[in-house]
Each structure stands twice: as structure tokens, then as C-alpha cells.
Copies of this chain bind each other. A is one copy, B any other.
């Protein structure tokens, strides 16, 4: 006897990216194609689900144009959360509540799009389902600009962020050339990634036939020496008028102190009594200005780098879509406690496929840039790094421009 399919629920978790909604579109499309009745979207991930906040996605994705707009919409369409489930033995009530809601909604498949913490959620929920014999399948769909998930060649969201960073750093380098300063100019560009340097390393993508690229790149995987840095800047300024350095927000000195915290070692309170923290770039810019007497600039790419869908990578958006579909397919075919991974089949021409791996081997692990992909001096990535990231930024996704600005998928009252 054929068992008729019931419903699907999908959620988004962790930091926003330019590609996370393309995965959502992929999950939705495959769920429809495979005959599920309803596709629910949990609002703000599991945290919202616990408050029974969810929507029927068919009321949001009403036609093919909506789906195309969704692929071009940055940040989590459904809203996101940074909620981590307790251990099962610590708080069974939370699990009972979630599974009560899943039972009520007749959920066969639960897809969670996210990073490390989200895969921890998939692991715990699928474990609980096994323990209790609950029939829902739980599958994770990778997403993070940080690119730090284990067992996958890379993560959706990374390619678009890397493309934005490479493009912006190149534009910053050109900008730096323009004005001459008596003692030169040092620009520090601060890039996301507390522990993993995948994003910061992608600043090297600025390099090409028409650009020498940034002068130095500092990843958080290696300890950062302030004095060496100042001396390197001094030497560079002897040869060129404008020096551009890419640094991770997470660089630390040898004793493990974040550079961004050095600036606040002196108590700095504003008129209202609040302590202010300086960023990594602004601390270094101030340091260099003082030591070398040159003009300096601090530029934080901030949230722009994770939400710039106007310069998304086509490879990234398509892979995000495929990975969403693959997660849905795996769950439909009976997998649970798994995450979809991307496998690189070849660099040139670039080809990739998907596999399904045990989420227990992925959750809570953090994949860092290997030491051998950073040069000996620790101030630039190697050719291997660039060969790795270059295919992931290829191609564009034409934004749907309306009145001069990219159009996003939006529902009144929902996204306000």
C-alpha cells in the first residue's frame, strides 16, 4: 500500500547570507515536485517554532517569478535565530514541545538550513526521533558565509560573499591610488570570520591582470604580531604610495588577545557612560597612523558582505538551490540525521555534485584554512587557496531591477 505523503517544514538559522533563500527555493520546489501537501516555513528557526510561529510557504511563493525573486533576495526570508537546543537529557520538555508541534502539523520532513549550530539541531532532533520512534526525517542543508563546515568542499553563501569581497577590495585598491599623501596611505579592510579565514583570504581575488591585489592578508588562524605588521607597512610605504591590507575581524596576538580589544584596554566612556569598543581595522589604522605618520583608513565590510545579493555568484546561487533540493530529496528517500555536502569533481572546468553525510560528523566541528594555504610569512594566501575559491565566484545572477534598485521577494506586514 502506498503511504501518502504529508507535510514538510523548513527553517533558516544562523547569520544571513546572499544564498540562503535560494536553498529555501530549492527545498520548496523539490517538496512540491515530490508530492508533499504543505510546505511550512518556521519563522526565526526552531526558536520561532517553539512559539508555534510558522507560515504556509505556498502563500508566499505563488508562482515562478516569486521563486526567482526569492533566489535574489538576501538574508533569511523566514527570519533566523541563534538558538541552540539543550542536550536531550537536560531538558526533555523542549523536545516534547517541538515534536508535539510536528505531530500536529503532520510533518514528514524537517529541513534546517544553517551552519554549525543548525547541524547540532538536526543531530539532536534526529537522535530524539530515533529514541522515540518518531517518523519525521531531519536533514540539514549547509549555509554559512564563513565556509567553516566540516566534510563539505564549501558552503553555499561563501561564494557570493567572496565575490563581493574580491570586487570591493579591488575597488578600494583603485580608490587608494587616487590621492597622494605626503607620507602615503595605509587602508585596513576588516572582513568577517572570527576563527576561520576563508572570507578574509578571498580578498586575494582582487588580484589579476589589472590589479596587484591587497598587499597583505591576515587570517585569524595565525597569531598576529603588531610590531612585525608595523614594520612591513613601513617597508611597503617606501616602495608604494598606497598600501591595502585585508584583516580578519578575529586576528589575535600571540597571547590570544583579540586585536579589536586592544583599543579598549584604556577605559573609554562616552558622555553617557558607555564603554566603546574599537574594531580591528580602526585599531590598526590608528596604530599605523601613530607609528608611521601616514594617512590611514579603516573600512569594515560589515553586514554588507553577507547580504550583498546584488553581486551574488551564479555558481553559489545555483549550488544553494541544488543543495536545498538535494536535502529534500534525501529526506524524501528516507535519510535522517544527515547533511547534504558539496563535492568538487573538478577545478577546471569546475564541476560539483552533492552527497549526503552523517550530521554527527559535522555538527560543532569547525573547518579552518589549512596552514599550507597561507604563505610562510603568514601574510598572504597561496595560489592553492585562490584556485580553490576562484570557481565559486563565477557568473552573475542578474538582479531584477525595478526603478533602479534590485527587487526582493517581500510580503507586506511580514518583513516590516
The residues of A with any CB-CB pair to B shorter than 8 Å are 12, 15-16, 44, 47, 73-76, 79-82, 163, 166-168, 170-172, 174-175, 177-180, 187, 205-206, 208-212, 240, 262-263, 265-266, 268-274, 276, 278, 282-283, 286-287, 289-291, 297, 299-304, 306-311, 313, 390, 393-396, 401-410, 415-416
Whether A262 touches B266, Cβ cut-off 8 Å, given contacts A82-B179, A206-B405, A240-B416, is: no
B287 contacts A270, C-beta separation under 8 Å: yes
In the assembled complex, which residues on chain B have CB atoms less than 8 Å from the CB atom of A415? 174, 177, 211
Q: Which residue of chain B lies nearest to A299 when distances are taken between CB atoms in the complex?
A: B302
B307 contacts A172, C-beta separation under 8 Å: yes
Whether A297 touches B304, Cβ cut-off 8 Å, given contacts A47-B180, A270-B263, A310-B311, is: no
- How far is A208 from B401 in the complex, measured between Cα atoms in Å? 12
Q: Which residue of chain B lies nearest to A405 when distances are taken between CB atoms in the complex?
A: B166
A272 contacts B299, C-beta separation under 8 Å: no
B168 contacts A308, C-beta separation under 8 Å: yes
B291 contacts A167, C-beta separation under 8 Å: no
Give me 10 other A-B pairs in contact (C-beta within 8 A), A44-B180, A210-B409, A211-B410 excluded. A75-B177, A76-B177, A79-B177, A80-B178, A81-B180, A175-B307, A177-B415, A266-B271, A268-B268, A272-B290
**18 A-B residue contacts at CB 8 Å?**
A12-B178, A44-B180, A73-B174, A74-B175, A75-B171, A75-B175, A81-B179, A166-B404, A167-B406, A171-B303, A171-B310, A175-B306, A175-B307, A212-B416, A262-B271, A263-B270, A297-B302, A394-B404
- How far is A240 from B415 in the complex, measured between Cα atoms in Å? 10
B174 contacts A74, C-beta separation under 8 Å: yes
**A405 CB contact (under 8 Å) in B47, B167, B402:** B167
Whether A170 touches B16, Cβ cut-off 8 Å, given contacts A178-B75, A287-B270, is: no
B307 contacts A290, C-beta separation under 8 Å: no
In the assembled complex, which residues on chain B have CB atoms less than 8 Å from the CB atom of A166? 404-405
A283 contacts B270, C-beta separation under 8 Å: yes
A303 contacts B177, C-beta separation under 8 Å: no
Whether A405 touches B170, Cβ cut-off 8 Å, given contacts A16-B175, A268-B266, A282-B276, is: yes
Whether A172 touches B304, Cβ cut-off 8 Å, given contacts A209-B410, A270-B287, is: yes
- How far is A406 from B289 in the complex, measured between Cα atoms in Å? 31
B80 contacts A179, C-beta separation under 8 Å: yes
How near does chain B come to A412, taking the closest CB pair, in angstroms? 9
**A404 CB contact (under 8 Å) in B81, B303, B393:** B393
In the assembled complex, which residues on chain B have CB atoms less than 8 Å from the CB atom of A168? 304, 308
**A79 CB contact (under 8 Å) in B47, B76, B170, B180:** B180
How near does chain B come to A165, taking the closest CB pair, in angstroms? 10
B300 contacts A272, C-beta separation under 8 Å: no
In the assembled complex, which residues on chain B have CB atoms less than 8 Å from the CB atom of A273? 290
In the assembled complex, which residues on chain B have CB atoms less than 8 Å from the CB atom of A310? 167, 171, 311
How near does chain B come to A60, taking the closest CB pair, in angstroms? 13
Whether A304 touches B299, Cβ cut-off 8 Å, given contacts A170-B408, A210-B410, A394-B404, is: yes
B405 contacts A393, C-beta separation under 8 Å: yes
In the assembled complex, which residues on chain B have CB atoms less than 8 Å from the CB atom of A212? 416
In the assembled complex, which residues on chain B have CB atoms less than 8 Å from the CB atom of A309? 171
How near does chain B come to A118, taking the closest CB pair, in angstroms? 13
- How far is A180 from B44 in the complex, measured between Cα atoms in Å? 8
**A210 CB contact (under 8 Å) in B75, B175, B263, B407:** B407
In the assembled complex, which residues on chain B have CB atoms less than 8 Å from the CB atom of A263? 270, 276
Most B-side CB within 10 Å, residue of A212, A290, A291, A407: A290
How near does chain B come to A242, taking the closest CB pair, in angstroms? 9
In the assembled complex, which residues on chain B have CB atoms less than 8 Å from the CB atom of A175? 16, 74-75, 303, 306-307
A171 contacts B304, C-beta separation under 8 Å: yes
Q: Which residue of chain B lies nearest to A206 when distances are taken between CB atoms in the complex?
A: B405
